[in-house]
Structure 1
Amino acid sequence: MKVRNAIAGGVRACVMLAVAATLTACATRTPLLPDNYAGPTAVLKDSADMLSMSKADMYYAANINAVDVDNVRFATRRASEGRGALMLLQKVERRIPATPVKVEIVARTAYAMPIMAVTGTVYQVKGKVEFTPERDKSYVVRGKLGPSYSAVWIEEEAGGTMVGEKIEVNGSAELGFLDK
């Protein structure tokens, strides 16, 4: 009887977690710039390295000036739902003001199916970078993830010049079981 109750409790907890994750994934994001914004802008793009048909290292903006923004991780998750182990990597870019900005950037290993992340290795490094984008220029979030060194940064798309600071982890940036 105790085992049955424990299993039922575990199933309930899993269902509640799944519902919460689904509702979170459906949440709408506040637009970074209003539709009628007429000020100078630049473009900030996310990037990714496909490691297999079901795994990628993603480098993206999580929020800009404290506003959560859509990014390659969530766009790819939405596009890949219902496709099993096939990941459909999405390109994501957004207009940003050509004024001083504070961007939370993330480098993270992502899988097509959540269970693959639980059983696989997930590296992550994140931090905030401040820079002033130049009008009409394009910038890209880039990174590197590995067992002994991980980093994420923003660079000008045309010349590859880094802007702001590089967020680095010397040593392991592997997430623990409960952090995945």
Structure 2
Amino acid sequence: MKKLVLVFLIFLNGCVSLHSPYPEGYEGPSALVASSENRVDGSTVQIFYLEKVNQKLIVNSMGASRGATQGQGFSFTSQLIETAVPAIEATFTIVGATAHAAPIQSLFSDNLIVRGDITFTPEPHEEYIVKGVLNSEYSAVWIENKETGEIVNKKIEETQVK
């Protein structure tokens, strides 16, 4: 049942409006938040990305990668996006999720996902990256400073009980 809900949500995602991460009229400095991946094989990838800013869905690496992969059979093409965000306090929804080249693979594979919100103020002109780990026992996603590796705020963690 969980797999059918995931497939339904993938198709439903095409009906959603995307927003700018900037508040209307903002003219201040910005920072960058990049996505990352862990390639499992040629058709399966774990993507760690910024999904929302202040609860508003933005253009993200999962959507861009799905678009780039469409029609390529079992070959997954990653599109890792760097998102410019305002250097003001905001709530960032970050995600770590398994992505497959062909939707049918979702029915026969582990589809791991971890999602959560982190509130912080990006430093002007700094670069950050969303990183994570996904496996059947423990999954986590976090934002870290790209240069120093320092984790911003906290990790979003999930432990699977067997």
User: Which bracket does the TM-score occupy, shorter chain normalised?
Assistant: 0.7 to 0.9
Q: Is there any run of 5+ residues in structure 2 with no aligned partner, and where?
A: 1-6
1:164 alignment partner AA:
N
Q: Is 1:30 aligned with 2:19?
A: yes
- Greater gyration radius: 1
Distance 1:45 1:56 in 2: 16
Counterpart residue number, 1:8: none
Counterpart residue number, 1:110: 99
Distance 1:101 1:61 in 2: 12
Q: Which structure dedicates a bigger proportion of its chain to helix?
A: 1
Correspondences of 1:1-180 after superposition (within 5 Å): 21=11, 24-25=13-14, 27-33=16-22, 37-171=26-160
Give me the TM-score of the superposition, normalised by structure 1. 0.79
Distance 1:27 1:165 in 2: 28
Distance 2:106 2:143 in 1: 26
Q: Is there any run of 5+ residues in structure 1 with no aligned partner, and where?
A: 1-16, 174-180
Q: Which structure dedicates a bigger proportion of its chain to strand?
A: 2
Count residues in correspondence: 156
8 Å Cα contact 2:32/2:128 also seen in 1 = yes
Taking only the aligned residue pairs, the percentage that are identical comes to 32
Q: Report deviation, 1:132.
A: 1.0
Question: Please, what is the CA RMSD of the aligned residues?
Answer: 2.3
Q: Relative contact order (alpha carbons < 8 A, sep ≥ 6): 1 or 2 greater?
A: 2
8 Å Cα contact 1:130/1:164 also seen in 2 = yes
2:43 alignment partner AA:
S
**Which structure 1 residue ranges, 4+ long, deviate > 4 Å from structure 2?**
34-37
2:151 alignment partner AA:
M
